[in-house]
Amino acid sequence: MDANGTPPPAEREPRGHVAVGVDGSPRSEAALREAAPQARRRAVPLEVVHGRPWSRLGGTGRGFGPPSREDAQALADAAADRARELEPGLTVLAGVSEEDAAEALVEVSGRAALTVVGSRGLGGFAGLLLGSVSLRVAAHAAGPLLLVRGGPEPEGGGAVHGTVVVGVESDADADAVELAFEEAAARHAELAALHAWIYHHLSPPGEPLVPSSPLEEDIARIARTEAAVAEGVVAPFREKYPRVRARVRTVNGSAQHVLIEASRAADLVVLAAHRGRGRLAMRLGPVVHALIHHAHCPVLMVPVPGKGGART
């Protein structure tokens, strides 16, 4: 503390809260619409973060040069005011970072319970440059990350389906499954746990690819095994969240396709993101990439440190 008893800036930074990245774009507004209710449901403050390249609040007509810090703060303050309109009584903090937007959000994710970003930045040519912000944050966020696709209108047209979907591969996804149960409980929604698997069968030369009776039996046996794996991951949380109606569905097919199709009738898809280790490791797997780009509802990504195996 200083002579006036004021804690240093690092000690004044919020922790365990919800943070949202804003840049003045329609997708930034979509992220804000998701972040404010999340903070209200969790009874924590909302932190609004605007990183470089800074933007001006639309219609201010402030000069012709690059946006100043004052311009950037005005944009962040306007977003904070919008959040307070969405959730009256919510504590909202607004800040401007000197860092690149992705780096600023990754830093915030280390102390936030949840970080929220739009899946694209500004439109036009700038959008081509900023479109990678959400992917960079997804690749390096230290905690749960909610990715919101959408524009001026709510994603999915604003319809409420009453369903939270979670992708389940193995017991390594337990953190994502628990967070999905928490979201379903908070939303008074049911939980659909989807486990996708692919049957790999190589027919001997000259034999048809149409499953024979023994092959059908083999597929059925594997399906039962796969269902037991998924149910084993979900079972402990059924007891912890008895009010959540949870169902497990196993599908022989691509996880990307299964989850994207399920997102059409979901309010949220929760997905564990298994990351490779090291600077040269692939940070995000194909399933996460597919959902970020093609899901029909927001995607809640829960990072899981990788061990060099398959990545979601």
Give the end of a domain, one of 124, 157, 190.
157
Angle of helix 26-42 relative to helix 69-86, nearest 10 degrees, comes to 50
Asked if residue 171 and residue 102 are part of one domain, the reply reads no
The pLDDT assigned to 308 comes to: 42
Q: DSSP of 266-281, one letter per residue?
A: -SEEEEEEEEPPSTTS
pLDDT at site 282: 45
My answer on whether 146 and 261 are in the same domain is no
pLDDT number for residue 226: 82
For position 276, which CATH number holds?
A: 3.40.50.620
Listed in sequence order, the residues at least 6 apart from 280 whose beta carbon sits closer than 8 Å to its beta carbon are none
Does residue 85 share a domain with residue 58?
yes
Overall pTM surpassing 0.95 (yes/no): no
Q: Which residues of the chain have pLDDT under 50?
A: 1-11, 121-130, 152, 202-203, 206-207, 279-282, 308-310
Domain identity same for 207 and 219: yes
**Same domain membership, residue 150 and residue 54:** yes
